[in-house]
Amino acid sequence: MSWLLMMSQPQGAEQSPFAMVVPIALIIVVFYFFLIRPQQRRVKDHRTMLDALKAGDSVVTIGGLRGRVAAIDDDKIVLRVADNVKLTFNRNAVAGILQE
């Protein structure tokens, strides 16, 4: 029974507050470099791609619809998906430009 009492009592000195903050800071740094920073880069690349769109580009939307850009407005885009078929989307709905 005496060994049980010895195990429940704290031994040694207390940890410094600095030693408790370091692991939390490391976790924040890891989250920044592996999650936040790459996401910011993808958003920036997508915004650059949307700014470079022009009439005649073949694009795919976030829903998977493929078409050719017929007209572009500030926040709208008109896609020609077939003969005499034009669809209007928000500009942000474009997922990427297709290579021909």
- Report the share of the chain in percent with pLDDT over 90: 66
Question: What's 36's domain CATH number?
Answer: 2.30.30
Domain count of the fold of the chain: 1
Task: Report if residue 93 sits inside a domain.
Answer: yes
Task: Report if residue 12 sits inside a domain.
Answer: no
Residue 12 has pLDDT above 80, yes or no: no
Task: Report if residue 89 sits inside a domain.
Answer: yes
Task: Report if residue 4 sits inside a domain.
Answer: no
- CA separation, residue 52 to residues 7, 48, 49, 62, 94 (Å): 67, 6, 5, 17, 12
> Residue 35 belongs to what domain range?
18-97
Give mean pLDDT, residues 15-43.
Answer: 88
Q: What is the dihedral of CA 55, 56, 58, 59, to 10 degrees?
A: 10
* Tens-digit pLDDT profile for residues 35-73: 899 999 999 999 999 999 999 999 999 999 999 999 999
- DSSP structure class, residue 98: P
